[in-house]
A = this chain, B = another copy of it.
Amino acid sequence: MNQLEDMQTFVRIVEAGSITRASEQLNTVKSAISRRLAELEKRLGVTLLTRTTRSQTLTDSGLSYYQQCLRIIEDLAEVEASIKDKHCSFAGTIKISVPFSFGLKHLAPAFRQFNQAHPNVLFNVDFNDRKVDLIEEGYDLAIRISTLADSTLIARKITSVSPVLCASPAYLKQYGEPKTAEDLNQGHVRLRYNLMPEAWQLVSDSGKTVVVKSPVVVSANNGNYLCEEAIAGRGLMFGPDFICYEAIRAGQLKLLLCEQLRNQTTNAYAVYPHTRHLSQRVRGLVDFLADYFGEKPYWGIYS
């Protein structure tokens, strides 16, 4: 009995579409394949494949077994490969969807570093702020900065992201520095990120949500552009810390209403289909990212 070889043979029969073609692909004769399949079915006590001379159909059990065989064979190959070059280096493609700004600015360097340790991993990155269908489009995983709303996916936290409100010193000189959330509605102008609701919602000292609706002077679907506009003193910027942190540290932007916003932290998640089996390299990447950014990422400005 050779379970693994049985599995490989079965997979080949299914994919080749016939015992004869499978035997050709496996460089043997059809009798051997026929016997293997018969013995496998006998051992499992289940018919996997209903076959006539001209056609074959998978039974329910057969389909289930086929899928599980694929997974285990891949698993086993990965184990052998990872042991063989014992540096535990990964190989293969990782197809990933990432948010535009976060991806370019923070994930790209992380991927590069991962690639140095695992040069045989080929990244296929889709920079995109829309929520792609991971399953339909065959992604291995996606990075998302929002909560999980889909029960076909599973999520793992990668790091923390906090909202910041900021403006350039020149702007603050001209428009005055807001001391409370309520101040934002009077005599201020805003830079708006397209893909979020037009009105901002902040929590004031007293715990009330304040809806900010002051005029929008620039509107865009790119946070970095808005950040540059903020540095140029065009208006108030309300966005994630990972976009503005450098300008804030450099003094080009001044942080506003820290106390109200520091507790509004959200998370960045790695999400992937719950059905798909996580390959070593994808699991390795997620582990790497969680470690690379950590609970307190380098862009953190509250603390």
Which residues of A are in contact with B by a Cβ distance under 8 Å? 2-5, 44-46, 60-61, 64-65, 68-69, 72, 75-76, 79-80, 82-84, 86, 88, 147-151, 153-159, 199, 201, 203, 206-211, 267, 269, 274, 286-287, 290, 295
Q: How far is the CA of A208 from the CA of B207 in the complex (A)?
A: 10
CB distance from A261 to the nearest CB of B (A): 14
**Consensus secondary structure, chain A interface:** mixed
Q: Given that A72-B72, A79-B65 are known contacts, is A151 also in contact with B84, CB under 8 Å in the complex?
A: no
CB distance from A142 to the nearest CB of B (A): 14
Contact of A156 among B61, B76, B151, B207 (CB under 8 A): B151
Q: Most B CB atoms within 10 A — which of A4, A5, A60, A287?
A: A4
Q: Given that A75-B75, A207-B209, A211-B207 are known contacts, is A80 also in contact with B201, CB under 8 Å in the complex?
A: no
Q: Given that A86-B46, A86-B61 are known contacts, is A150 also in contact with B154, CB under 8 Å in the complex?
A: no
A3-B76, A72-B79, A209-B209 given; 8 more Cβ-contact pairs under 8 Å: A3-B80, A64-B82, A72-B75, A72-B76, A148-B148, A148-B155, A208-B210, A274-B287
Q: How far is the CA of A80 from the CA of B46 in the complex (A)?
A: 11
Q: How far is the CA of A190 from the CA of B2 in the complex (A)?
A: 67
Q: How far is the CA of A88 from the CA of B286 in the complex (A)?
A: 31
What are 26 pairs between A and B in contact, CB < 8 Å?
A2-B2, A2-B4, A3-B4, A3-B80, A46-B84, A61-B86, A64-B83, A68-B79, A68-B83, A72-B72, A72-B79, A75-B75, A147-B147, A148-B148, A148-B157, A148-B267, A148-B269, A149-B157, A151-B159, A151-B295, A153-B157, A206-B211, A207-B211, A208-B211, A274-B286, A274-B287
